[in-house]
Structure 1
């Protein structure tokens, strides 16, 4: 049957092979989340609290990513889950985006409340903790960067760490200015900047997750081009009921009905169609229904 019948191998490429790096990032961020939260309470810094809040979503997000990968692996072979539980990583990514939105909105509201009467902030401890947090975020960023290109689940954690990295830089700048000038209003300004920086990236992540969940065609694929390519396969006279969607990260799938010429060899048509989908569009799993020309009118469109 050609390409694309090993769902387990594809899922492993998309998420499970990054499991060790996710665990390393999880432990690192969890430790520094506690450090920053305690330091934020001691110093009174909203910027530091904002950074700790983003680290908290990192811990939850990476934890959900690990749970999704483990659940998907356990579900392989379950006859009632023919595609496993690969969608769990998409749900985890969407949950990460919702958490990030919540944290960003809270920080923005709290920052506005502080502008009129900025509280005193201990700049020295704030600066020390921010530097340590920056180091932790750089290490986590390097751990997750490669996986973010392959898995939407890992990408969610990666974006959170990226936001934290810039947040730590902002906190360092704020601590330095406060120490030199006593401009305590810089603290809520940096907190707002961190929130505004992460919101567009969070929206992009949420949008990508929702597109997968509603089974929209992948943005990088031109569905009419897919249909035209299948129609160009020797022996195919018509292509209809074509559907292309993303099951999970790295797993674009398709289904289609192919009307074939009477003299065409069905096996050759199927093989050529699968090769075309794989080579031209990187679709590794396709369910293709072959129909004789006489039955074309009997195959009506779905009405859901």
Structure 2
């Protein structure tokens, strides 16, 4: 098309009257993170500062409750090992092993936070923010593997119920409930919209359910002598763990596959962008998640000849920010060819192979 740039790559264009004499009516590819000086300094902070310094502050705030939960879990695990060795209880030693997986999950989340906070450099243009998503997926897979173990062990104990120390199991379960309630409370103070934090939280929550089931089963065994109650409790916990694990694997998988964030329908967003005044068409629309809470959008926007590309871009960015909370937008804005303005004509504009076009009212 006449006004489109031959190169489709994203680039930053100078503003009206800027270098090269480019005026407001010219086509441009624009990244919302690098707006004018007014956007960078007069309105709170620029995007780079917001996603750099802000992310580091949030990571520090999230790290403290996770460290507190980790120390609590490690202390209880050490007490279980000592008690198990003194009492000769395999059940207590096995549960200490389960607590070790919780400690590992929290430790992994903490390491991922520190790595993800590193600034972008070299070939990693987004930094290492998705390390947190990798951590969440590992935690989800771990929960699913533990589910398989608990199902196998539960079925085995249903068939051949072992001798269960009802009093010991009940007391351990009650103490475990208290410890995991405190640990869950600590982690809940962190940002649970982060899949990384949510992965650690789901591990603790699953352990809390396990201790509730353990205490209930121990009480039944203690009062009635029915040993199969322990196996049934294990199967109930396994079902809850499977649900939590699958949720983490599914959500982290959506991020890796660059699906649109939950609650953001591309067709709806494309239609709203196309409804902006002077917009002729929106295509090449992509919406994805860089990491938890960090949505990004890029699109090619065609406007009517003679329209102010800068004004259209600013109006579109404002709508995306206010309606959907999208702060990182890269919009290539060009004037539409005359052929595209004729109903029924196929103009020589770049036809989008990556999804539907959204015609505007202009």
Aligned residue number for residue 68 of structure 1: 112
Work out whether residues 10 and 250 of structure 1, in 8 Å CA contact, stay in contact via their aligned partners in 2. Answer: no
The offset of 1:10, in angstroms, is: 5.6
The offset of 1:157, in angstroms, is: 1.0
2:61 alignment partner, one of 10, 13, 17? 17
> 2:348, 2:100 → 1: CA distance?
57
2:278 alignment partner, one of 217, 228, 235? 235
> 2:331, 2:114 → 1: CA distance?
31
- Is 1:171 paired with 2:223? no
1:276 alignment partner, one of 319, 343, 349? 319
Secondary structure in 1 matching 2:123: coil
- Give the gaps of 5 or more residues in structure 2: 1-34, 40-45, 339-346, 355-362
Aligned residue number for residue 30 of structure 1: 74
Q: Which shows bigger deviation, 291-300 or 265-274?
A: 291-300
Aligned residue number for residue 241 of structure 2: 198
Superposition TM-score, scaled by structure 1 size: 0.90
The offset of 1:37, in angstroms, is: 5.5
> 1:239, 1:106 → 2: CA distance?
50
The one-character-per-residue Cα deviations of 1:47-78 (angstroms, maximum 9, x if unpaired) are x677545433321221111111101112x142
The offset of 1:36, in angstroms, is: 4.0
> 1:40, 1:237 → 2: CA distance?
72
> 1:81, 1:237 → 2: CA distance?
35
Work out whether residues 120 and 128 of structure 2, in 8 Å CA contact, stay in contact via their aligned partners in 1. Answer: no
Q: Which shows bigger deviation, 216-225 or 146-155?
A: 146-155
Change (3 A) 1:255 1:49: farther
- Give the gaps of 5 or more residues in structure 1: none
The one-character-per-residue Cα deviations of 1:247-293 (angstroms, maximum 9, x if unpaired) are 11101110001112222222222211111110011111111111121
The offset of 1:98, in angstroms, is: 0.7
Cα RMSD, aligned residues only:
2.4
Secondary structure in 1 matching 2:117: helix
Aligned residue number for residue 186 of structure 1: 229
2:167 alignment partner, one of 120, 124, 130? 124
- By percentage of residues, which structure has more helix? 1
> 1:7, 1:118 → 2: CA distance?
55
> 2:265, 2:57 → 1: CA distance?
24
Work out whether residues 218 and 246 of structure 1, in 8 Å CA contact, stay in contact via their aligned partners in 2. Answer: yes
Superposition TM-score, scaled by structure 2 size: 0.76
> 2:81, 2:161 → 1: CA distance?
19
Change (3 A) 1:13 1:211: farther
Work out whether residues 57 and 96 of structure 1, in 8 Å CA contact, stay in contact via their aligned partners in 2. Answer: no
> 1:97, 1:40 → 2: CA distance?
29
Aligned residue number for residue 4 of structure 2: none
Number of corresponding residues: 301
- Is 1:133 paired with 2:179? no
